[in-house]
Amino acid sequence: MDGNLPKVIFETDKTLVFDIQYPYPPTKIHYAVVPKKDIKDVNQLAPEDEGYISDAYLVMAKIVREHDYKKYRVITNGPGFQEVAYLHFHLVIDRD
């Protein structure tokens, strides 16, 4: 990402979803799903973070259902593979 925040397309009290135009060649849509808690990576998850993680997955499920997406991936990266040092998920919808 270039430092500019992309457009927020969905928000709950625990999760933000951004529409990002990061180029994954076989994809048509790429969302960044971000818990609203400062968690750097999976290694830092604690039991009290469960609500944030489950909310992020429920938000992704809602998006997939509402748009009837058939081909999608959920991706997260750890240290050394993150462009942003903050736990987040990529909901990537493939081209048909």
pTM of the model: 0.88
Q: What is the mean pLDDT of residues 86-90?
A: 95
Within a domain: 29: yes
CATH number at residue 22: 3.30.428.10
Instruction: Give pLDDT tens digits for 16-66.
Output: 999 987 666 667 889 999 999 999 999 999 999 999 999 999 999 999 999
Chain mean position to CA 87: 9
Task: Report how many domains make up the chain.
Answer: 1
Q: Residue 83's pLDDT band (boundaries 50, 70, 90)?
A: confident
Exposure string (b/e) for 22-37, b if CB count within 10 Å is 16 or more? eeeeebebbbbbbbee
Parent domain of 77 = 7-94
Within a domain: 42: yes
